[in-house]
Amino acid sequence: MSDLPLSGIKILDLTRVLAGPLSAQMLADLGAEVIKIERPGTGDDARAFGPPYLVDPEGKENNNNSFYLCANRGKKSVTINIAKPEGQAIIRDLAKTADVMMENYKVGDLKRYGLDYEAIKAINPGIIYCSVTGFGQTGPYAPRAGYDAILQAMGGLMSVTGHIDGEPGEGPMKVGPSIVDYMTGMNTSIGILTALYNRDAKGGEGQHVDVCLFDTVIASLSHWLQIYLVNGKTPPRRGTWGNGGMPAGVFRCTDGELMLVVGNDGQFSRTCAVLGAAELATDPRFLRNNDRVVHGKEIMAIFAGLFLKNSVKHWLDELEKAGVPSGPINNFEQVFADPHVQARGMRIKVNHPFEPELSLIRNPLTFSGTPVTDYRAPPLLGADTKQVLSSTLGYDDAKLDGLKKQGII
């Protein structure tokens, strides 16, 4: 089997919580050696974002919770106290050996420790130094801390998410998962890989990559935000209704709900036939998609009545035969029971010290020539401190013991 795409790349990861760690995890999946720096004793802030936690074999409390487990597989955990000069010196020594350094401290924090981009660049000119923050390295909000939900609100995502105005529960709504963190993690990976390509394949130099949640959420609004840029009007909240092909949304059946998206006029005609109302396809109000957008409330109400006449399975089977995109509204148990999800191998097993077959979610990228097949469990706090410092920096046992007694590692 070929080496993984990022074999030979070393990443020094000072990120915590979710966006940065998700990016570093993806890069670790793809073959990079990721050295995760954590605080002695407490570790990454995410370790306190529980429960649930894995069960310690000895019944002790621990810091291996779901939040941490989802974003840190394949890494090496090294505990270093960067608030102390000795710890800062260790980070600088590790940075000399790294291709990439990642951090998500508030703007200016690491400069106090001599760990900012300019300081690291001085000792490793080729370093790709990536900063992941709430608001970026410039602008009036740069010094602020930022979490996913705050950026969903400030970036406009919540303003267009939620029940339709006039319906019960109307008002801005947060997307369930930390979707801005996840998208920022992807952008971080893209930024790092682009900078590495520029340096290694095009003869470029190291550089500072600035990625933030605020920029990410605004860019992610895509065609919704473009509507505002075209006509100056913020699109209304649409609940589960679509913002392209119509009709689109959740429809209640006799035994549950399904999601339907009618993407073009041909699909609309076939859907009408499935529902036993072929005449709707020639109704002047609904001939073209733009007509159905204008008369959205009317067609959605008509479809709502028709779907109530049979079961979810009946409609999904018939819509699939007709080539109309639709699907069930699955809970997580149903997601992992889905035969397609199983065929795609989205649930993987890793050997964790607390659980020999710990379930995780696989990397969503699939390669024909360099497949990711070997996943390593998220590390216990400080599990690799001795190995990394001895093999990379040449520290002997006496030095390691001294640093531990001083609270440096």
> What token pair was written down for 164?
């339709």
DSSP line for 250-297: EEE-SSSEEEEE--SHHHHHHHHHHTT-GGGGG-GGGSSHHHHHHTHH
- Tell me how far apart the alpha carbons of residues 51 and 405 are, in angstroms, rounded to a whole number: 31
Is 92:123 a contact under the CB 8 Å cutoff?
yes
Vertex 80: Cα angle to 75 and 84 (nearest 5): 155
Max CA distance (Å), the chain: 85
> What token pair was written down for 147?
């979490």
Question: What is the helix (H) or strand (E) element at residue 358, kind and residue range?
Answer: strand 355-361
Q: What is the phi/psi pair of residue 60, to 5°?
A: -85, 155
> What token pair was written down for 63?
């810091």
- Tell me how far apart the alpha carbons of residues 124 and 402 are, in angstroms, rounded to a whole number: 27
Catalytic residue flag (residue 181): yes
- Exactly one of 44, 116, 148, 181 is catalytic; name it: 181
Q: Which residues of 85-103 are buried (b: 16+ CB within 10 A; e: fewer)?
A: eebbebbbebbeebbbbbb
Is 197:215 a contact under the CB 8 Å cutoff?
no
Helix axes 222-231, 213-220, angle to 10 degrees: 70
Question: What is the helix (H) or strand (E) element at residue 25, kind and residue range?
Answer: helix 19-29
Give which of 114, 118, 115, 155 is closest to 136, Cα–Cα. 155
* Amino acid present at 73: R
Residues known to be catalytic:
181
